[in-house]
Amino acid sequence: MELDEALRKAADLIVNASSVVAFTGAGISVESGIPDFRSSGGLWSKYDPEVYCNYSVFKQKPELFWKMAVDMQSTMAEAQPNPAHYALAELESMGYLKHVITQNVDNLHQRAGSNKVRELHGNGSTASCMACRSKVPISEAMDQLNSGKSVPVCSRCGGVLRMDAILFGEPLQSSVMEGSLRLAMFAEVMLVIGTSLVVSPANSLVQLCKSNQGTIVICDPSPANSHLAHVMLRGNAGEVLPRLVQACKALRTKGKAQM
Ligand SMILES: [Zn+2]
């Protein structure tokens, strides 16, 4: 199927479905300058996430995680939402997209204007005290690190601060996971963007939607998961999703003209 035809088909599904959910992974933020740690090279080859982002390692040696965070802070601070994030926010404001479920912790969906975002892996824009749970903007932790501390601490109780992103080996928040499973179960259309679908239990969301007669639309430059897709949109999300929004608008205009 050519991309134009696939876009028309996807738009038709989205406009006519009662419940559309988007499920996004690292791939959607690559165009914002945040590297996917599963791809080789770059920052992640320097910091093995299995060590630097591991929860049991963090509890013993929090300075390792924060050392990596210092090295990555300019990458994270400079990242801006890209046209794919804005396209999803627009689909929400048009009334077509019910929710975004994301594996990302970069806060870019919210910054692009999406209001309904479920973050499976938490959010890296805040940090919390391991002892008293008080929450601060991540900039407060970074300020401490940049002024020479190896581990940022809570200004209230002196406890160790942690980023509010879920680390490897740490359980997902059950309320977020349950809500996401429910969304997947009742979604008529799931728009899957930039996720390799290798991380469990996130990959089960697609299977759950599918086994409940949901239609899967995958947007990805790689054909790796095309066997799971009813409609495959091959290409970078930053180029493809704005075109999908246009296709939805065209259908809406056509629908109104026929009334
Ligand atoms: Zn505290």
Assess whether 220 and 92 both reside in one domain: yes
Q: Is 132 assigned a ligand-binding role in the annotation?
A: yes
- Which CATH number do you get for residue 229? 3.40.50.1220
* Ligand 1 centroid distance, CA of 153 (Å): 8
Instruction: Kindly report the CATH number assigned to the domain that includes residue 39.
Output: 3.30.1600.10
Q: How much distance in Å is there from the Cα of 132 to the middle of ligand 1?
A: 4
pLDDT of residue 259: 57
Q: What is the pLDDT of residue 221?
A: 92
Model confidence pLDDT, tens digit, residues 8-40: 999 999 999 999 999 999 999 999 998 876 666
The answer on 52 and 2 residing in a single domain is no
Instruction: Spot the catalytic one: 109, 121, 227, 230.
Output: 121
Q: What is the pLDDT of residue 69?
A: 93
pLDDT score, position 41: 60
Strand 99-102 and strand 117-119: the pairing is: parallel
With a cut of 50, which residues of the chain have pLDDT below it? none
Distance CA 250, CA 85 (A): 20
Per-residue pLDDT at 75: 85
> Is 129 assigned to a binding site?
yes
Domain residues for the domain of 20 are 1-33+81-121+173-259
Secondary structure element (H or E) that encloses residue 11, with its range: helix 3-16
Whether residue 137 is found in the same domain as residue 236: no
Burial of 19 (0-12, 13-18, 19+ CB in 10 A): middle
- Are 238 and 149 contained in the same domain? no
The Å distance, Cα 166 to ligand 1 centre, comes to 19
How remote is the CA of residue 141 from the centroid of ligand 1, in Å?
A: 13
Query: Domain check: are 207 and 243 in the same one?
Result: yes
Give the Cα separation of 157 and 134 in Å (integer): 9
CA 137 – ligand 1 centroid, Å:
14
The SS3 assignment for 146 reads helix
- Check if 121 is active-site: yes
Instruction: Tell whether residue 209 is among the known ligand binding residues.
Output: no
Q: Is 154 annotated as a binding residue?
A: yes
Cα–Cα distance between 12 and 6 in angstroms, integer? 10
